[in-house]
Amino acid sequence: MSKQTPSYAQKINHAAYEAKVAGVGLLLTIIVWCVLGFGLSNVDVAFFGIPLWVWAGCLGTWAFAIIFSIYMARHVISDVPLDSPEDPTKEAQQTESSQR
């Protein structure tokens, strides 16, 4: 059983969805950075002379971004061929070249 190729509009809609999820990921990463960095600024814990908020703000944000990227790669991003015959730009290019 072969998988049906999505239409050009479906491909564009999915690309827009992927971009929106990436934008949400950016906002969540900024929120995590603020919470871990500024939220732990009153905690009096240090490792190797460096306060906990520095470790959490740097490494915690990095870990969150990696986990979110893995989530996106597994559940959001999909591989779709962009060179289908339904592609309007290809049709326009073919029309232009045939008119010459």
Burial class (CB in 10 A: 0-12, 13-18, 19+), 16: exposed
Q: What's the token pair of residue 21?
A: 């999820």
Q: What's the confidence (pLDDT) of residue 79?
A: 83
The pTM of the full predicted model, rounded to 2 decimals, is: 0.70
Closest by CA to 68, choosing from 31, 29, 96, 38, is: 29
Length of the chain: 100
Q: What's the token pair of residue 45?
A: 């814990």
Residue, of 13 and 1, whose pLDDT is higher? 13
* pLDDT tens-digit series, residues 54-74: 888 889 999 999 999 999 999
* pLDDT tens-digit series, residues 72-84: 999 998 887 766 6
Cβ atoms of 76 and 17 within 8 Å: the answer is: yes
